[in-house]
Structure 1
Amino acid sequence: MHSNLKKEVLPHFIGIAIFYLIVLFYFSPAVFEGKIIFQYDILQWEGAAKEILDHRAETGEEALWTNRLFGGMPAYLVSFEVPGDITNFITKVITLGLPHPVNSLFFGMVSMYILLLSFKVRPEFSIASAVAFAFNTFHIISLDAGHNAKIWAICLIPLILAGIHIAFEGKKLLGLALFAFGLLLQLKFNHLQITYYTVIIVLVYGIGRIVQSLKHNELPDFGKTVAILLVGLILAVGGNLSRFLTVLEYGTYSTRGQTNLSSQKSSQDGLDKDYAFNWSQGKMETLTLLVPNLYGPGSTKSFPKDPETERVLRNNNIEVAQVKDNIDYARKYWGDQPGTGGPIYGSAIMLFLFILGILFAPKPYKGIFLAIALIGIILAWGKNFQGLNYFLFDYLSGYNKFRAVTMALSISLFAIPVLGALGLEYLFRGKERKAAIKSLAIAFGVSGGLALLFWLFAGAFNLRAPFDDNFPEWLVEALKEDRKAILKSSALKSFVMILIAAGLVWAAVVEKISTSVLGLGLALIVIIDLWTINKLFLNEDDYQYSPAEQFFAKTPADETILRDNDYFRVLNINNPFNEARTSYYFNSIGGYHGAKMKRYQELIENALNPEIQNFVAKAQEGEFSWMELSVLNMLNTKYIMAGRAENAVFQNPEANGPAWFPEEIMIVKSNDEEIQAIQTLDTKRKATINGNEFDNVFAGSGAVDLSKNEPGTLEYNVDAQKAGLLVFSEIFYPKGWKATINDQPASIIRTNYLLRGIVVPEGKSVVKMTFEPSSYYSTKIFVVIFQYLVVLLLLGSIFMTFRKPSADGQA
């Protein structure tokens, strides 16, 4: 292969080097010092996954069920691996050894760079847009929070679309391979909401291609390309088949599924509408894409040394230190959302280039990426654009499974840099200098002019926050002055950045500088722009050598409970259903996960929360009503933890234990009746059975002992004086759990709304329960096969695409 090194290789080498160096130096504590970003969500995940990770390390086998969260749930919703899975190795290779999770941003830049090259944007123009896409504040804030899978899934969107676009442009084999490879990795990271948004992007692109095919009578070729890409879809799904099917199977029984209670029935399954749209972006707040601090930085941004608020407090003889936390929070964000980690911003320079794209990009591409950008913005408005968004929530398939609709702005943050790069490319493909300068003036006037207006008239905007009603008016006025100062500073910075960018483009148009200098200059100011604001949200203070060691350090309360080697559960009454630190050491009644089992969530809302609140209220008065904990007792809650000290641990003498024979069976006719009954039932003596779902059973008697306890395996020695129902303090899940009595198959029935029950015979027997979901065991071999097929396809397609014949016809 004869190659012009300078022309064909060097620009790409420079681009990749820039991307690598950005990650290398911005995240230098992680790369050079071995420190770890303090990610709260990841620490919670570590707590939730501890049992699974320990089991994997000790046995080399996969724990498919964990007892550590919410009384027990499928483990593949927490941590999941298939023996022979090569995707972890692949991600290390394609990110050149950069540490997880910061390697996602490097590959995001590479991914966008590849997409722009596929649209024939010259390398020097692709670099700035690639940086803006991956290095935006949304990703940095998400990284700080620990949303690693989300960032990876977003950063793979450009590669997926690049494959599709290349296939439609004629290189079908390479397009197929890139599409399959990108989608394989995105599905591996298992963030279905981002995959859903990816489908939206692909559909919009597909509609654009259909329109073009109709215009040029190319529908047959369109159909062939779609058919080829379907092969890529099959390969990508096949490489994640176990992960895909287990999650799909679980979805029906999770909080994303239909309620089991008629009192809460709706025409649609999925999340509650208010919950799903709680984080909806205000319409004006969208302009943080241009002026990031339009509604405040939402972070620990430092304020002027002597802000107006502090001056006014001192004048009113109020000690600033006493109210500092409240005042700081009030100054950080004044939008309509309940709170935010920071503004969503991908550089004002990209907005300037985006307008150039509207003016110069070819019509098909302009329509596609403008539509994608607008869709992301409108979806992110959520409840602030109810007419459309509530309609979509009610009728668009699958859309009601997702929450935090502001995440839809990831669609816009993808489309804006693409259209901006296309605009820049086609501006310089044109021959009319005068027209180019005129359009340049329009783009600068719209973007820079708007930023300038925010700077000049900052005080004219609504600078009140919803929580300002809690403050006296004199303090609110001082807060507004501080907010105005923050807004003005941010708007002025955006204007300056746009001015510099416009100046560089103008200099290149009039041939004062080369397009290469322009491209690198734009990349530099985009890096400076984003670097300076991102450092507000993720900087050296956010790194530790071992955050987990500190977070999970044993407390005296932990030590007290750990002395007990029996099998039991623990309730941490401090925010129990939104923390997983307890799960690091104990089987927890609570936990931290976005998709609990539906029945357990219903138990929390209808029984557990009232029971816990009633118990705490009485305990504060010195009365410990253990007998009234009917639901906690049936879940074998032996310890209640009220703090970190040793004396903050309370042992429950009435916990039912791992399994027991109830003396009486109560037949109910509905889920509503059953969940109502267990709230006052003496669950050690009585048990409920839904007569509409299960055959009548009879009460038995005897003794039972738990002899084996592993994730996904439980074994009991039973001595039944009378045959009948044996109730287990284990969560009922209808997919995968199998039971045997003396090695003979037995049926598991649901009792007490969500516990397992088995009818055992008279006499001595061994009851064994194992979790063996066919959705995992019947598919795991195919996962490995399909993954290797995708990799071989990618390597083969690259070789075939770039293999050129020499002058004598030899390869």
Structure 2
Amino acid sequence: MAGANRKAMKRYLFPLLLGLIVVVFFAKTIFQGLLPIPADTIVGLYHPFRDAVFQEYPNGIPYKNFLITDPVRQQYPWRELAVSIMKQGELPLWNPYQFAGTPLLGNLQSAALYPLNILYWLMPFQMTWTVLVILQPLLALLFMYLYLKEMKLFKLPATFGAVIFAFSGFFVAWLEWNTILHVILWLPLLLLALEKLRVKLSLLWSTIFIFALSSSFLAGHLQVFFYVSLVLMAYLVTILYRSKSKGKLVLLLSALCSLFAVVTSLQWIQFVKFYLQSAREIDQVLWQKEGWFIPAKHLVQFFAPDFFGNPATLNYWGVWNYGEFIGYVGIAGFVFALLAIIYRRDRKTFFYIGLLIGSILFATNNVIAQLPFRMGLPLIGTSQPTRLLAIVDFSLAVLAALGLDYFLRRQLNIKKISTVLVLFLSLFIALWIYTDTGSVELAVAKRNLILPTGLFIITVILLLSAIASRNKKIFLFTVYCLLFTVVFDLFRFGWKFTPFVASDYLFPSTKTIEFLQEQEGVFRIMAADRRILPSNFSTFYRLQDVGGYDPLYLKNYGELVSAWEKNKPDASLLEFNRILSPQNYESKLADLLNVKYILSLDELSSSKLVEVFSEGQTKVYENIEVYPRVFLVSSVLKVNSKQEAINKIFEEGLDLGTQAVVYEDLKLANTPLVRSENVKLLSYSPNSVVAETVTEEEHLLVLSDVYYPEWSVFVDGVSKDIIEVDYALRGVVVPSGKHKVEFKIRI
């Protein structure tokens, strides 16, 4: 019995160790209730939250890392809205709270259909979000461990490689986004499934493969999924040579990929529709700017992650931005990866060496890496290649495990080890000499070299001690110490960068927000200062905003905002503008787009604005000239092009409240509206807008929501043509009499 217990304990020791490692990393969450999300930036950086008084910080709340605001500006609000809509029994097709309306399901980063979202039905949203953050390294550890064991590695190297993968620089940099890592974490499970299917075709592993592939795609980041797909294709080519039934395997995988396309069709069809209407192609010029690729000098961060400082300590002096260039895998991890690269001579090592070289080649600035951007390839030609660090770190983690496995098999002598150690020693000596110049920036680099150098020395001592030892227990003890060293190294690095914050900081309510939420009717807001309620925050509070922040936004609306901000009929988009935050409240476009409230930190002097509320520095003004969300016009002006449309809109004297600009000949009589003719908004929800009209003649009804081809309109249940009005808005011709008009978005 005792022997059986020992055997069971041995079997589960390493999986339990993986779980313990995750518990330690998230100790502040598990034992103190702090959330792994940068919510401290909400209350520390932006108004009206800074206007609210928090007793423990009367002078303002400090924030840990100003660099990572995207999770609270994008991923968290989008997912919360999507889940909320789905809980009401609808698909989350549309987000009316940013960009004056924009696709939600078509926005992949909302990850609305991610299979693990089922947890949101079992727990409160905030708790589930936290659980999903924790699951990222946990699942990455588990899947990588199982994959490395399938490669016939010892348990200790498998654990070593899993830890490096799950807490690498890429994982730490993107941990709190809760999307990107959910894409990459399925990669080792997919490779494991391919290995199993290579040996034996089975329903179980076919199901696992299709589930993992679908989950990776639906997790919310197309670029990283593209990289995962490339790795899978390359891996498939290599295993076909070893497969006993190549034809059957190819046939099975073709069928599985076809099934994947069907299973995920709801998501990718919505995405393609959105992409084709978006302004994404304007990002193509960015590749020429410094920081689009990993700068050569930033490769030093593989050895000293904070050589250029760290945004969390406010001393970063490198190329912008830190999070895009960090691929640290720990000193010991890199040492063993290099040992595998130099000395292992087997098929799996060669594959990952090739994968590593290829990833670095396309992530750094060179002629080959520039090709996709020079050619203007869709999707990939607008994606920053630094995200290839996901594959770089994955490759290094596998190579580190292979290196340690090679070491455990006693196939490395002191001479071989010394070659690698001398390379590292030479590098560190060169870095110390380089930093010894006295400049302020290099003083930061010098200070941040101390710990990597110390860890290198510890790694050297442990390696040499293990080689010199003839006692198996002492040998294994030193190897376990190496594992502890890499855990300490990566955890220290991870904790330094990653915020853990009080739950009170996550989208708290303030008097300003409560005032806006209490106002009756449907209306939009805008901020005259980008420090107030930044783009997308309004989504969480269900306040409709004309601004927004997203790599994908509708091109027609982006052009309208561009002209709005320039205050002239020039709708050309800026070269890089993922954040639209119009501030020209004097423009008639603000009135047209139903902007009723303007938030400002300064006193605003305008005949159309009346101050109605204030809290601290934040002031709320009401626009008394705002148009209703839905209204009737007495006349329409037909134009033949978009430029003519924007020219007409900016004509002085054109009243957009009574006249509309259209591209079609609607054959309307253009009769003035009489008092009895009116429109009433009956209901407004993300996927549907219902109004009631009473008219004596045919008139054009204008809905100041953004035009998108997937919307349809019905008058008394009968489908009608939806009209593109005023460059980027929606409209429909309503007949005389009393009618019910319903706008619905299609799947």
TM norm structure 1: 0.75
- Note the residue ranges of structure 2 that are not aligned, 5 or more in a row: 39-68, 571-582, 602-612
Aligned residue in 2 for 1:778: none
SS of the counterpart of 1:391? helix
Separation in 2, partners of 1:91, 1:514? 50
Deviations 1:620-657 (A, max 9, x none): xxxx997x522222211111111493572121122221
Separation in 2, partners of 1:71, 1:124? 54
Deviations 1:568-623 (A, max 9, x none): 1111222289522233141111133332222222223332464899xxxxxxxxxx
Go from structure 1 to structure 2 and tell me whether the alpha carbon gap of 1:18 and 1:379 turns closer, same or farther (over 3 Å shift).
same
Aligned residue in 1 for 2:638: 667
Go from structure 1 to structure 2 and tell me whether the alpha carbon gap of 1:133 and 1:80 turns closer, same or farther (over 3 Å shift).
closer
Go from structure 1 to structure 2 and tell me whether the alpha carbon gap of 1:49 and 1:370 turns closer, same or farther (over 3 Å shift).
closer
SS of the counterpart of 1:158? helix
**CA displacement at 1:63 relative to structure 2:** 4.0
Structure-to-structure mapping, 1:316-331, within 5 angstroms: 329=314
Residues 98 and 547 of structure 2 are in contact (CA less than 8 Å); yes or no, is this contact kept in structure 1? yes
Q: Judge which range, 122-131 or 220-229, deviates more.
A: 220-229
Separation in 2, partners of 1:574, 1:611? 21
Go from structure 1 to structure 2 and tell me whether the alpha carbon gap of 1:455 and 1:86 turns closer, same or farther (over 3 Å shift).
closer
Aligned residue in 2 for 1:133: 165
2:95 is aligned with 1:124: no
> Higher helix fraction: Structure 1 or Structure 2?
1
Go from structure 1 to structure 2 and tell me whether the alpha carbon gap of 1:184 and 1:762 turns closer, same or farther (over 3 Å shift).
same
SS of the counterpart of 2:646? helix
**CA displacement at 1:195 relative to structure 2:** 0.4
Separation in 1, partners of 2:130, 2:658? 58
Separation in 2, partners of 1:231, 1:89? 29
**What code does the residue aligned with 2:460 have?**
L
Go from structure 1 to structure 2 and tell me whether the alpha carbon gap of 1:425 and 1:278 turns closer, same or farther (over 3 Å shift).
closer
Which of 326, 340, 359 does residue 376 from structure 1 map onto?
359
Aligned residue in 1 for 2:562: 605
Separation in 1, partners of 2:17, 2:524? 51
SS of the counterpart of 1:248? helix
2:66 is aligned with 1:109: no
**CA displacement at 1:531 relative to structure 2:** 1.7
Aligned residue in 2 for 1:470: none
SS of the counterpart of 1:68? coil
Aligned residue in 1 for 2:537: 581
Residues 458 and 488 of structure 1 are in contact (CA less than 8 Å); yes or no, is this contact kept in structure 2? no
2:680 is aligned with 1:705: yes
Structure-to-structure mapping, 1:305-704, within 5 angstroms: 329=314, 332-338=315-321, 340=323, 343-381=326-364, 384-385=365-366, 387-395=367-375, 397-400=377-380, 402-429=382-409, 436-459=413-436, 478-480=439-441, 482-503=443-464, 505-507=466-468, 513=473, 516-517=476-477, 519-538=479-498, 542-548=500-506, 551-555=507-511, 557-575=512-530, 579-583=535-539, 584-608=541-565, 610=567, 629-643=587-601, 645=614, 648-680=619-651, 681-691=654-664, 699=670, 701=673, 702-704=677-679
Separation in 1, partners of 2:420, 2:164? 18
**What code does the residue aligned with 1:206 have?**
L
SS of the counterpart of 2:626? coil
**What code does the residue aligned with 1:156 have?**
W
SS of the counterpart of 2:703? strand
Separation in 2, partners of 1:538, 1:120? 34
Go from structure 1 to structure 2 and tell me whether the alpha carbon gap of 1:502 and 1:36 turns closer, same or farther (over 3 Å shift).
same
Deviations 1:395-430 (A, max 9, x none): 485443653432211110000111222233345557
Which of 736, 743, 746 does residue 720 from structure 2 map onto?
746
SS of the counterpart of 1:706? strand
- Note the residue ranges of structure 1 that are not aligned, 5 or more in a row: 260-269, 301-328, 461-476, 614-623, 774-811
Residues 291 and 494 of structure 1 are in contact (CA less than 8 Å); yes or no, is this contact kept in structure 2? no
**CA displacement at 1:279 relative to structure 2:** 4.1
**What code does the residue aligned with 1:420 have?**
A
Q: Judge which range, 362-371 or 67-76, deviates more.
A: 362-371
Go from structure 1 to structure 2 and tell me whether the alpha carbon gap of 1:271 and 1:662 turns closer, same or farther (over 3 Å shift).
farther
Separation in 1, partners of 2:681, 2:4? 72
**What code does the residue aligned with 1:71 have?**
A
Separation in 2, partners of 1:169, 1:44? 46
**CA displacement at 1:27 relative to structure 2:** 1.0
Q: Judge which range, 200-209 or 123-132, deviates more.
A: 200-209
Aligned residue in 2 for 1:758: 732
Which of 246, 253, 257 does residue 277 from structure 2 map onto?
253
Separation in 1, partners of 2:238, 2:706? 49
**What code does the residue aligned with 2:389 have?**
L
Percentage of pairs with the same residue: 21
Separation in 2, partners of 1:728, 1:662? 11
Residues 271 and 400 of structure 1 are in contact (CA less than 8 Å); yes or no, is this contact kept in structure 2? no
Deviations 1:36-95 (A, max 9, x none): 1242434334445665555555x4444432211111122323756569x676359999x9
Residues 380 and 408 of structure 1 are in contact (CA less than 8 Å); yes or no, is this contact kept in structure 2? yes
Go from structure 1 to structure 2 and tell me whether the alpha carbon gap of 1:519 and 1:598 turns closer, same or farther (over 3 Å shift).
farther
Aligned residue in 2 for 1:288: 301
Aligned residue in 2 for 1:142: 174
Q: Judge which range, 697-706 or 246-255, deviates more.
A: 697-706
2:161 is aligned with 1:205: no
Separation in 2, partners of 1:543, 1:227? 50
Residues 291 and 451 of structure 1 are in contact (CA less than 8 Å); yes or no, is this contact kept in structure 2? no
TM norm structure 2: 0.81
**What code does the residue aligned with 1:753 have?**
Y
Separation in 1, partners of 2:490, 2:515? 48
Q: Judge which range, 111-120 or 567-576, deviates more.
A: 567-576
Go from structure 1 to structure 2 and tell me whether the alpha carbon gap of 1:608 and 1:379 turns closer, same or farther (over 3 Å shift).
same
2:708 is aligned with 1:733: yes
2:100 is aligned with 1:71: yes
